[in-house]
């Protein structure tokens, strides 16, 4: 069973092959396979993904539904392919206008170099006005940048459509294809003009020595048709309004010749417009056969342009959607990056505060905060009740009070709210690390002040 996506993909790829009237009516698998084999180069991605047999089967399903015969049927079956896009249409139109402006400048320069600068001057004022009116509504179809070949617009010079994505418009054909179409059209018009002159103006051919279509370049025919004598003969053939806009046709056909001879790259829509002028000239010269041939080429070109632009739209839509998803992912990654960095800084600050608190608590526990250099609360003062309470009066008053010569020190505790209490603490009971400090404090008569009562150290012989 064919999936909608598979049908849509095959339709896009095969529309240029099966959109003409003859191929669109094919139903037999053998004939479909022959066309697929003939177009293997352009169908390579499809052949690689689904294989030839499967591709032929899907094409036959599309042929049975007649979507290649009618664009209306295709729009009904694949509406998503034909959704209007005002922004894209405006972008395409702007690119076509830029291309047409460049083409007009290049063609004017070529015309002046070829001595054909009076082409527009020979036109009637209303013809010039009609050309302007005709060209304005569809600037996208005007001749494209007829720049010198070395100034041909490259894909990377096109207007960006989404971010850095280049636009696929305006549409160009391969230059070899463009040159073949315009050169053949020029040749057909030269034959058309020669046959008209052979019938309506044989004396002119004899006078100038023109004995075959190849003997006369197209621009010479256009110059001849501008003079009053040629116009009078043409007017005799057209009793109705068949010559309306003839000056504009001559001007456009001259541009067709300049574009072909001077190898000016032109948009696909510009080529179509030049072919339209060629068809009109053949009709004016009453060459219905060649007019029909040129119209058939133009019709096929327009069909291929629509298929090409439909594919461009699908490609641009797909890439735009992909780029938007990439942009969304970039924004998400940016948010994640910011969150990671902020989290790192926040956790580092929290860790710093935690380490500081631990060190502060440790310092308080080890150094006793604001109680002094010696944490007197660490001494077990309950031992004072167990020491002897009698003084050794027999010791000499001038005895040295250094810790090494005085085996005992007397500590008196005073408090503002109670009378002083006295007691002895053997030196051996004072921690070794504190003995020097105790002796120094006693010698200097210092008092340790804190939240606890005040303690003083007195000499053994003190009263």
| pLDDT tens digits for range 309-346 | 999 999 988 898 899 999 999 999 999 999 999 999 99
Residue 328 is predicted with a pLDDT of 94
Helix, strand, coil shares, percent, the chain, to 5: 65, 5, 30
Q: In what order do the strands lie in the sheet with 408-415?
A: 418-426, 408-415, 454-458
| pLDDT tens digits for range 80-107 | 888 877 877 777 778 888 888 888 888 8
Residue 423 is predicted with a pLDDT of 44
In terms of Cβ atoms closer than 10 Å to its own Cβ (0-12, 13-18, 19+), residue 448 is middle
- Which residues neighbour 262 within 8 Å (Cβ) at sequence distance 6 or greater? 110, 146
**Structural domain boundaries in the chain:** 4-82, 86-324, 376-458
State how far the Cα of 205 lies from the Cα of 416, in Å rounded to an integer.
145
Q: In the 8-state DSSP scheme, what is residue 448? A: B
Residue 1 is predicted with a pLDDT of 76
State how far the Cα of 100 lies from the Cα of 96, in Å rounded to an integer.
6
In terms of Cβ atoms closer than 10 Å to its own Cβ (0-12, 13-18, 19+), residue 136 is exposed
Residue 194 is predicted with a pLDDT of 94
Residue 91 is predicted with a pLDDT of 74
Q: In the 8-state DSSP scheme, what is residue 267? A: B
Alpha-carbon Rg for the chain, nearest whole angstrom, is: 52
State how far the Cα of 185 lies from the Cα of 293, in Å rounded to an integer.
10
State how far the Cα of 174 lies from the Cα of 342, in Å rounded to an integer.
55
Q: What is the mean pLDDT of each run of 10 residues along the chain (463 residues)?
A: 88 89 88 92 90 93 91 88 79 81 82 61 47 40 39 43 77 95 96 92 90 92 85 70 75 92 92 95 92 94 92 89 92 96 96 92 77 44 45 48 46 42 50 57 48 43 48
Residue 435 is predicted with a pLDDT of 57
Task: Count other Cβ atoms within 10 Å, centred on residue 369.
Answer: 12
Task: Count other Cβ atoms within 10 Å, centred on residue 279.
Answer: 22
Q: Which H or E run contains 11? A: helix 4-18
Residue 386 is predicted with a pLDDT of 47
Q: Supply φ then ψ for residue 118, to 5 degrees.
A: -90, 10
State how far the Cα of 346 lies from the Cα of 353, in Å rounded to an integer.
11
Query: Taking the CA of residue 61 as centre, how many other CA atoms within 13 Å lie in the half-sphere pointing to its CB?
Result: 16
CB 4 within 8 A of CB 12: no
Lookup result for tokens 């060649």: 290
Start-end of H helices in 66-124: 71-77, 86-113
- The model carries a pTM of 0.62
Q: Which long-range contacts (CB under 8 A, 24 or more apart) does 199-204 make?
A: 200/233, 200/234, 200/237, 201/230, 201/233
């Amino acid at each position: 069973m064919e999936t909608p996506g598979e049908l849509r993909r095959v339709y896009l790829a095969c529309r240029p092959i099966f959109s003409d009237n003859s191929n669109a009516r094919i139903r037999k698998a053998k004939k479909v396979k022959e066309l697929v084999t003939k177009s293997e180069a352009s169908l390579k991605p499809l052949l690689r993904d689904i294989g030839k047999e499967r591709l032929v089967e899907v094409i036959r399903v599309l042929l049975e539904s007649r979507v290649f015969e009618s664009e209306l049927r295709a729009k009904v079956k694949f509406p998503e392919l034909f959704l209007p896009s005002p922004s894209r249409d405006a972008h395409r139109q702007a690119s076509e206008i830029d291309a047409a402006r460049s083409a007009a400048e290049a063609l004017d320069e070529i015309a002046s170099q070829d001595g054909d600068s009076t082409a527009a001057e020979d036109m009637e004022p209303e013809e010039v006005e009609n050309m302007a009116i005709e060209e304005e509504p569809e600037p996208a179809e005007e001749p494209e940048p007829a720049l010198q070949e070395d100034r041909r617009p490259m894909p990377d010079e096109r207007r960006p459509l989404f971010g850095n994505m280049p636009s696929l418009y305006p549409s160009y054909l391969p230059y070899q294809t463009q040159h073949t179409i315009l050169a053949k059209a020029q040749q057909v018009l030269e034959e058309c003009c020669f046959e008209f002159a052979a019938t309506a103006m044989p004396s002119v051919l004899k006078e100038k020595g023109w004995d075959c279509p190849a003997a006369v370049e197209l621009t010479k025919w256009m110059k001849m048709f501008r003079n009053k004598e040629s116009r009078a003969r043409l007017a005799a053939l057209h009793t109705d309004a068949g010559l309306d806009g003839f000056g504009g046709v001559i001007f456009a056909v001259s541009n067709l010749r300049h574009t072909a001879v001077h190898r000016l790259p032109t948009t696909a829509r510009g080529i179509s417009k030049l072919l339209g002028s060629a068809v009109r000239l053949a009709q004016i010269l009453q060459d219905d056969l060649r007019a029909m041939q040129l119209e058939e080429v133009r019709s096929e070109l327009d069909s291929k342009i629509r298929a090409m632009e439909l594919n461009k739209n699908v490609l641009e839509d797909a890439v735009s959607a992909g780029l938007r998803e990439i942009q969304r992912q970039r924004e998400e990654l940016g948010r994640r990056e910011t969150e990671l960095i902020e989290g790192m800084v926040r956790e580092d600050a929290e860790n710093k505060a935690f380490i500081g608190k631990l060190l502060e608590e440790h310092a308080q526990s080890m150094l006793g905060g604001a109680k002094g250099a010696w944490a007197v609360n660490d001494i077990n003062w309950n031992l004072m009740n167990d020491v002897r309470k009698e003084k050794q009066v027999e010791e000499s008053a001038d005895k040295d009070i250094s810790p090494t010569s005085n085996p005992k020190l007397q500590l008196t505790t005073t408090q503002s709210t109670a009378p002083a209490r006295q007691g002895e603490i053997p030196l051996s009971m004072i921690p070794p690390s504190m003995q020097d400090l105790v002796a120094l404090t006693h010698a200097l008569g210092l008092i340790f002040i804190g939240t606890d009562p005040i303690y003083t150290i007195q000499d053994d012989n003190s009263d």
